[in-house]
């Protein structure tokens, strides 16, 4: 049985942040979890257009800043999270560092936060805080769709889940987590695995046959793992770019959630695997990275 008993919800009072609140409420209700709202502000600011904004080198009165932060946080999401046990934490410091440290020290089971994607570079960048949390957090992280629009409310119900499989040896824990999560929320689970496409190779005809062999071998390996783990879900093995394959599968299934894996701390690329950022950026629905 999947245990999600403590959800951490970083708060920045933005529209995207408010749009994530219904998802937090549904997750907390379904799993009987308590929610901690955390807001972290840096101790240094800079004047921009007659106002002070985070960043720069100008120190501010920390006590006044903390008092104002606590006052604003005190009433945040009182209506949206009514009936749920809610803690509120106001901190000063580096937001990503404080969030990940708090999640580890307080036994958080899931961090839920929207990414930011505004302007012409929205397809290239994750918000700096979100990207650092994704890289450093040890628990699963839920991120909202990385677009200018707020998450679609129909996805709150989470009826259909697509799990990206990176092969049974690497993705076993991710598949296990996805299966338990799908069972807990009574959702349909679909697995998708991408292999290299023959179109990208020379001697295409010969490599189309090789692609077919790769596809069959991958399916058999994944299905053997699922049988041993007593997991039942359709498996779709597709040739193509990983990010594109996962996005297209999510669109085809009209998925409400995509579940992916992140790397390990001792891997060359750190905790986040090569394609994780791309999947999060392009996914048409929220993503949980495990």
Domain containing residue 123: CATH number: 3.40.50.620
Range of the domain at 53: 1-150
Same domain, 166 and 120: no
* Beta-carbon contacts of residue 244 (< 8 Å; ≥ 6 apart): 282
Q: What span, in angstroms and rounded, lies between the C-alpha atoms of 106 and 95?
A: 16
Of 150, 169, 202, which closes a domain? 150
Q: Into how many domains does the chain fold?
A: 2
State whether 199 and 136 are in the same domain: no
Residues 68 and 78 in one domain: yes
Q: Among residues 127, 150, 173, which one ends one of the domains?
A: 150
The first and second tokens of residue 9, run together, are 């919800």
Burial of 144 (0-12, 13-18, 19+ CB in 10 A): buried
Residue 215 and residue 253 in one domain: yes
Indicate if 271 and 186 belong to the same structural domain. yes
Residues 171 and 143 in one domain: no
The pLDDT score that the predictor gives to residue 150 is 55
Q: What is the pTM of this model?
A: 0.85
Residue 200 predicted with pLDDT over 60: no
Strand partners for 112: 142
Q: Do residues 212 and 275 share a domain? A: yes
Asked if 174 and 268 count as a contact pair (C-beta separation under 8 A), the reply is no
Task: Give yes or no: residues 196 and 215 share one domain.
Answer: yes
Least confident piece of the model among 107-116, 229-238, 260-269: 260-269
2 and 137 part of one domain: yes
Strand, helix or coil for residue 180: helix
132 and 79 in a common domain: yes
**C-alpha triplet 258, 223, 281: angle, nearest 5°:** 20
Give pLDDT tens digits for 96-149.
999 999 999 999 999 999 876 444 444 444 677 888 899 899 999 999 865 555
């Amino acid at each position: 049985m999947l245990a999600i008993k403590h959800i951490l919800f970083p708060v920045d009072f933005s529209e995207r942040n408010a749009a994530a609140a219904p998802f937090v409420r549904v997750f907390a209700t379904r799993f009987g979890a308590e929610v901690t709202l955390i807001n972290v502000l840096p101790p240094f600011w800079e004047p921009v257009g007659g106002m002070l904004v985070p960043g720069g080198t100008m120190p501010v009165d920390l006590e006044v800043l903390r008092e104002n932060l606590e006052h604003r946080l005190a009433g945040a999401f009182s209506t949206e999270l009514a009936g749920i046990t809610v803690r509120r934490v106001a901190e000063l410091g580096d937001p990503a560092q404080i969030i990940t440290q708090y999640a580890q020290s307080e036994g958080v089971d899931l961090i839920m936060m929207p990414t930011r994607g505004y302007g012409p570079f929205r397809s290239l960048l994750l918000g700096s805080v979100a990207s650092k949390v994704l890289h450093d957090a040890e628990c699963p992280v839920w991120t909202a769709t990385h677009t200018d629009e707020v998450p679609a409310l129909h996805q709150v119900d989470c009826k259909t889940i697509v799990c990206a499989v990176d092969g049974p040896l690497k993705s076993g824990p991710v598949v296990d987590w996805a299966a338990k999560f799908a069972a807990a929320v009574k959702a349909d689970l679909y697995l998708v695995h991408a292999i290299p496409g023959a179109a990208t190779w020379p001697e295409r005809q010969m490599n189309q046959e090789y692609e077919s062999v790769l596809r069959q071998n991958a399916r058999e390996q994944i299905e053997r793992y699922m049988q041993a783990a007593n997991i039942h879900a359709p498996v779709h093995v597709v040739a193509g770019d990983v990010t594109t394959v996962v996005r297209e599968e999510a669109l085809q299934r009209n998925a409400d959630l995509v579940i992916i894996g992140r790397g390990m701390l001792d891997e060359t690329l750190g905790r986040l695997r090569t394609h994780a950022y791309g999947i999060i950026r392009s996914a048409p629905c929220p993503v949980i990275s495990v």
